[in-house]
Structure 1
Amino acid sequence: MEIRADAGWRERALAVMPVGSSTNSKAPALLPEEPEVIVRGLGARVWDDRGREFIDYRCALGPITLGHADPRVDAAIRDQLRDGILFGHPHPLETTTAELFCSLVPGAEAARFLKTGGEALAAVIRIARAHTGRDRVVQIGYNGWLNSLAAGARVLPGATSASVPGVPAGLAALHHAVGWGDDEALDALFRAHGSEIALILVAADYPSVPSSAGFYRRLRERADAHGALLAYDEMVTGFRVALGGMSEASGVVPDLAVFGKGVANGMPLAVYCGRRDVLGVLDRGEVVVTSTYGGETLSLAAATTTMTIMRDERIPERLHERGAQLQNGLNDAFADAGAPFRLEGHPTCPQFVGEQEPIDGFLRAAFSHGLSLYRVVYVNAAHTAEDVAETIRRARSALAEVGR
């Protein structure tokens, strides 16, 4: 394979890597304004290979909650690195990190670790099927690529597919995609298959988070009435909307849940947790979920430090305050510019809602003005009030440029 000597990172990546990135949503689509690669991050800022600095609201698509290169988390990783990364027996951090996690998350009577949300969600589905003796799963929202099994389900956070190539038809038929808040479709599903449904697996609809408690309550009631389990996909909402995610924010506790992005400030770690009796299928050997890297110590050390800081310094409240400043300021700027879009949802993870082409035009211009934004806008604890004020000024300049 021959690549031009002057090829850019995007061209080089596409030559050796499908999509040009291992994470679809990170592949740049708004070049040349958007960075091809990011090489460094500190606090609320990131830099690309050309030396351009950006105020960062992508935050690695959510995992950076404290800020890039947080010195306390980095110190915990370095301290553990001196003692080792991975062993042939459990390290004490496996137990102590699980203890801390369970003390913070409502309904988490027990917890185990994996590396990614997709595999943790796959574990939850298998556990639910084994516990209930049923096969059907209801999917609401984006549950990761591994669990986009139902026709019409989210295959990416902003995209659905009428079919599921690569998934056997018999398996896809056992997964049912339902839209957020679609009580009518849920009632029809339970009338037709109520005794066969093992699990309702729900990921929050970001624009609807502030008013979601009623829907979560109705899901809990349906699951209980039909002997099904309820599971929350907290990959984004956990440790961001609240420490305990949507179970804390809504007051409705699920049977199972999956956390990840907010737990370790960027280190790779996913947690699946829930009722001890449901997870008992693992103790009894009825279901095997196991991974060599589940107890990798650097991520556990990072998670312990991250969760402790988030608890002791009330980080979700700080994210809420800073996110509200950003969301309100940007929406004022959009309204003043007559833009056909706005940010809706919880201040810690609001989403662009409106016409896609103008949104893309603004995001492209925002990159030119040193703002790294995404369709979901994430703040982290390193963003200051001054950072947000500067962001709003730059956004107004970008809107004016788009208008011209």
Structure 2
Amino acid sequence: MANKVAFNENYPSIVESNKLYDRAVNIMTPVTQTLAKGPGQYINGVAPKYLKKGKGARVWDVDGNEYIDYNMAIGPLSLGYGYDKVDNAIIEQLKDGITFSMMHELEVVFAELIHKIIPNAESIRISKTGADVTSAAIRVARAYTGRKKVLCCGYHGWHDWYISVTSRNSGIPEEIKELTSTFDYNDIESVKNALDEDTACVILEPFVFEAPKNDFLKELKAVCEANGTLLIFDEMWTGFRVAVGGAQEYFDVKADLACYSKAFANGMPISLLTGRKDIMNLFNEEVFFFTTFGGEALSLAAAVTTIQEMIDQNVPAYLATKGKLLKDGYNKIAEEVGVAQYTKCVGYDCRSMVTFDASAGNGLEVKSFVQQEMIKRGILWGGFHNMSFSHTDADIDYTLKVYREVLPLLKDAIANNTVASSLRGKPVEAVFRKVSNFNTKPKTKAVNG
């Protein structure tokens, strides 16, 4: 019998998941199309590898096990799985068609809506993935400034200009690697030290989990303006979550360009680049950025409906309110149980993360221990609380009850040095992403003399 969202006696059976994996492993390299969804991010032997369906804030794996989901497709499901208004909009558009031989009217409807709600949306471009629009932003910034170098902070996709600064940069020419460097969030001096006359743009996630300090974002904009460098916000996670108008609205800082994808179409593939008209005008003739599926109508219908629902229901406020219950609740339980020195929940209320101190032991093993116990109890858990409009008070109450049972188990395992031996499979793997202590300076130009 499949597990439910309950204090189950046994770990879930994942026989069918493993069968699918065995079919895939020799013909797919790797088996996952999204790194954060892959089997390496879940403890092997306990976590399912394949999901079958979702509704609201719950998912069911291919073995029939049910879970409350706090990953929400790694971000896009801001309203929840199978949200009726969005699904109905997709169904109605499907009757008329998906992709056409000319432009579709929804492109205009969507653009007008974005123009009203995104602070810097003097002009917009539509595409399909986040990496599309971050890379388009870099290209147009270089064209506008006549410069080459990029400073970045956060995660910005798989394209050469960004992934060259990570550990998975094989296949990228050294000449490209030399053009991108990184800076530490909230460290304005690291930006000042890296900027030079060939820096085209600074791109960053307005926040990941740490809040800006000392007006960091406003100071960053001023520093960029003084250097003739464009400021780009990568709002994949902040857009439509902290406010419908994203971090630009929330922090009252207008970027030169801004990029969006997750959250605003409730799971349909679409991305968005907004910015100053004088910069974006370069896409008319000088800079090429076009794609066959940029005007695909099902995603546009979903986006218009999702955004309107976010406005009508004040979804960002809901995400913050419910997320705060989880974040504060976790920290209170950790304090009461006596593990607050080992673990805490950090971040913004709409999207928080459980962290583990090095004093608790191997961080990946500790995370895996908590993950396997959460999954046993019907919660699909990767350390994050990616909140959706479908997460209910009952979901949150149940999750806190599970934390109240699991954290004492963690305390005992740490005290008895049995975390690793308690794991029922291979622990989760590290990914290349790093958001702090990751500052690399660009190479200096040779000086003729």
TM-score by length of 2: 0.83
Q: Which has the higher contact order (CA 8 A, sep 6+)?
A: 2
Give the secondary structure class of the aligned counterpart of 1:41: strand
Q: Identity of paired residues, percent?
A: 34
Structure 2 equivalent of residue 235 of structure 1 = 236
Tell me the equivalent position of 1:118.
131
Correspondence for 2:371: 363
Residue by residue, what CA displacement relative to the aligned partner does 1:73-104 show, whole Å, maximum 9, x if unpaired?
00000000000000111000011111111211
Change (3 A) 1:346 1:135: same
1:132 aligns with 2:140: no
**Residue 401 (structure 2) aligns with:** 393
Aligned to 1:174: 179
* Counterpart in the other structure of 2:29: 18
C-alpha deviation, 1:394, in angstroms: 1.6
Give deviations 1:223-260, integer Å, cap 9, x for gaps.
10011100000011101111111111111110001011
Q: 2:289, 2:351 → 1: CA distance?
A: 31
| Partner amino acid, structure 1, of 2:178 | A
Distance, in Å, in 1 between the alignment partners of 2:331 and 2:356 is 12
What TM-score do the two structures reach when normalised by structure 1?
0.92
Task: Give the equivalent residue in structure 1 for 2:202.
Answer: 200
> Which residue of structure 1 aligns with residue 291 of structure 2?
291
8 Å contact from structure 1 (residues 351, 377) kept in 2 = yes
Out of 165, 185, 191, the residue aligned to residue 190 of structure 2 is 185
Conserved? CA contact 2:68–2:380, under 8 Å:
yes
Cα contact 2:156–2:162 (8 A) shared by 1? no
The answer to which of 34-43 and 348-357 deviates more is: 348-357
**1:241 and 1:6, CA in 2 relative to 1: closer, same or farther beyond 3 A?**
closer
CA distance in 1, matches of 2:54, 2:247: 29
Q: Distance in 1 between matches of 2:345 and 2:268?
A: 28
Alignment CA distance shift 1:7-1:54 (3 Å)? closer
- Figure out how many residues of one structure are paired with residues of the other and give that number: 388
Q: Does the 8 Å CA contact 1:319/1:381 hold for their aligned counterparts?
A: yes
Match of 1:15, as an amino acid?
N
Aligned with 2:159: secondary structure?
Answer: helix
Contact 2:141 2:201 survives alignment (8 Å): yes
Q: Which moved more, 1:264-273 or 1:21-30?
A: 21-30
AA of the residue aligned to 1:282: F
Deviation at 1:336, TM superposition (A): 2.8
Determine the C-alpha separation between the residues in 2 that align with 1:103 and 1:306.
15
Q: Distance in 2 between matches of 1:77 and 1:213?
A: 44
- 1:35 partnered with 2:45: no
AA of the residue aligned to 1:56: D
Offset, 1:138: 0.6
- The partner residue of 1:141 within 154, 165, 169 is 154
Question: By how many angstroms is 1:204 displaced?
Answer: 3.4
Q: Residues 122 and 237 from structure 1, CA distance in 2 versus in 1: closer, same or farther, beyond 3 angstroms?
A: same
Could you give the per-residue CA deviations for residues 323-361 of structure 1, whole angstroms, max 9, x where no partner exists? 001111122222333331211110111122223232232
C-alpha contact 2:123 2:275 (8 A) present in aligned 1: yes
After the TM superposition, which residues 338-353 of structure 1 pair with which residues of structure 2 at under 5 Å, given as runs? 338-339=338-339, 340-353=342-355
CA contact (8 A) 1:39 1:49 kept: yes
Query: Is residue 2:238 matched to residue 1:218?
Result: no
Q: Answer whether contact 1:264 1:307 (CA < 8 A) is retained.
A: yes
337-346 vs 364-373, greater mean Cα deviation: 337-346
Equivalent position of 1:97 in the other structure: 110
**In 1, Cα distance between equivalents of 2:276 and 2:344:** 39
User: Which digits, 9 at most, give the CA deviation of each residue in 1:340-388, with x for residues without a partner?
Assistant: 1211110111122223232232122111111112233201001111110
SS in 2 for 1:149: helix
AA matched with 2:29: P
Of 214-223 and 82-91, deviating more is 214-223
Q: Is residue 150–residue 176 contact of structure 1 (8 Å, CA) maintained in 2?
A: no
Q: Distance in 2 between matches of 1:5 and 1:244?
A: 42
Of 80, 95, 98 in structure 1, the residue corresponding to residue 93 of structure 2 is: 80
Number of the residue aligned with 1:158: none
Where in structure 2 are there 5+ consecutive unaligned residues?
1-14, 358-362, 414-449
Higher helix share: 1
Q: Alpha carbon RMSD of aligned pairs, Å?
A: 1.9
Distance 1:148 1:392, change over 3 A: farther
Runs of 4+ in 1 over 6 A off after TM superposition: none
